[in-house]
Amino acid sequence: MITNAGTINRESENLLGTYLKERRSRLDPATFDLPTARRRTPGLRREEVAQRAHVSVTWYTWLEQGRGGAPSADMLDRLARALVLEETEREHLYLLAHGRPPEVKSPVRTNGVSPRMQRVLDALESSPALIKDAAWNVVAWNEAAAAVLIDYGTLSPVERNVLRLVFCHPRLRAQLPDWEQIASFVVATFRAELARTGTSQQTQALIEALSRESPEFAAMWRNHEVRKHGEGIKRVQPEVGESIALEYSSFAIDAQVGLSMVVYMPATHADAERVKALVTRRRALA
């Protein structure tokens, strides 16, 4: 009993090594054209994983034994490929080794979302909703967002960027009574997300372009403020009708690295009726 307890304690202290051994045991040698005869245990041998990851057998053995310190991000990526880990499993590997998920080095594709995700947006008939990528390009939206916020379908992919719209689109700016507060919040939130996901060539180019085109963006960017998106409330003044108060929430989209959904819920029943009126008007003009 004491021996078993000691084994359990040692395994719980070496979660990374335990996870590596477990994933290694699940791999079928035949899948990699490796001999399957005379194997005492299921899965790949340590030397086979080490060879696939281009690391020494000694180093990999130490890693499974909880020795040798934390591996680098490059090493973890090699191990993830060698063990054929899916994205969720790779993230778990990083959490065990570094205590944090892997950095996102570049935004996800910006050519839209799956039909299923678009149906989720469309189901929110009275709530403007959109999906943006890691560079804050709007990649999908619903009819309520087009009616209340801006008709994203009339914009080019370059224009369809949240920061560019806030700082470089006069009509949208006129629709935001609290523009300065919103703009400052957007910049601080964008900076905080970049610290987590990493700055790509695309986001760096966006920052440089906005700094040239908008002195207000440049000044806010130099403040180095950071904020968390989370939840809040904003007022919108449509071109037609009374202003609308919207409560917003942001959600990460699981299994779609870098994508997040922002949903704007009407704050009151009257605000909901105003949203419905704008959607009805948009359909009548279509």
- Name the amino acid, one letter, at 113: V
Domain count of the fold of the chain: 2
- What letter does residue 131 receive in the DSSP assignment? E
Residue 18 included in any domain: yes
| CA atoms within a 13 Å half-sphere pointing along the CA-CB vector of 252 | 9
| Phi–psi pair at 275, nearest 5 degrees | -60, -45
As a whole number of angstroms, the distance between CA 196 and CA 93 comes to 17
**Confidence band for 281, pLDDT divided at 50, 70 and 90:** very high
What pTM value is reported for the model? 0.65
Neighbouring residues of 58: CB distance < 8 A, sequence distance ≥ 6: none
Residues 157 and 272 placed together within one structural domain of the fold: yes
Residues 42 and 157 placed together within one structural domain of the fold: no
Residues 91 and 124 placed together within one structural domain of the fold: no
Residues 86 and 224 placed together within one structural domain of the fold: no
Domain that holds residue 254: 115-285
Q: Round the CA-based radius of gyration of the chain to a whole number and report it.
A: 25
Q: What is the pLDDT of residues 171-191, one digit of tens each?
A: 899 999 999 999 999 999 998
Report which secondary-structure segment, H or E, holds 250: strand 244-252
User: How many Cβ atoms from other residues are within 10 Å of residue 268's Cβ?
Assistant: 11
As a whole number of angstroms, the distance between CA 60 and CA 45 comes to 11
Residues 184 and 281 placed together within one structural domain of the fold: yes
The answer to whether the CB of 97 falls within 8 A of the CB of 76 is yes
Residue 110 included in any domain: no
Residues 138 and 235 placed together within one structural domain of the fold: yes
Residues 139 and 93 placed together within one structural domain of the fold: no
Token code pair at residue 67: 């020795």
Residues 74 and 130 placed together within one structural domain of the fold: no
Token code pair at residue 51: 């060879």
Per-residue model confidence (pLDDT) at position 112: 65
**Comparing C-alpha atoms, which of 72, 96, 71, 82 is closest to residue 24?**
82
Q: What is the pLDDT of residues 142-179, one digit of tens each?
A: 999 999 999 999 999 999 999 999 999 998 999 999 99
**Confidence band for 32, pLDDT divided at 50, 70 and 90:** confident
Token code pair at residue 204: 């760096």
Residues 261 and 146 placed together within one structural domain of the fold: yes
Q: CB burial class (10 A; 0-12, 13-18, 19+) of residue 144?
A: buried
Token code pair at residue 240: 């037609």
| CA atoms within a 13 Å half-sphere pointing along the CA-CB vector of 166 | 22
Residue 36 included in any domain: yes
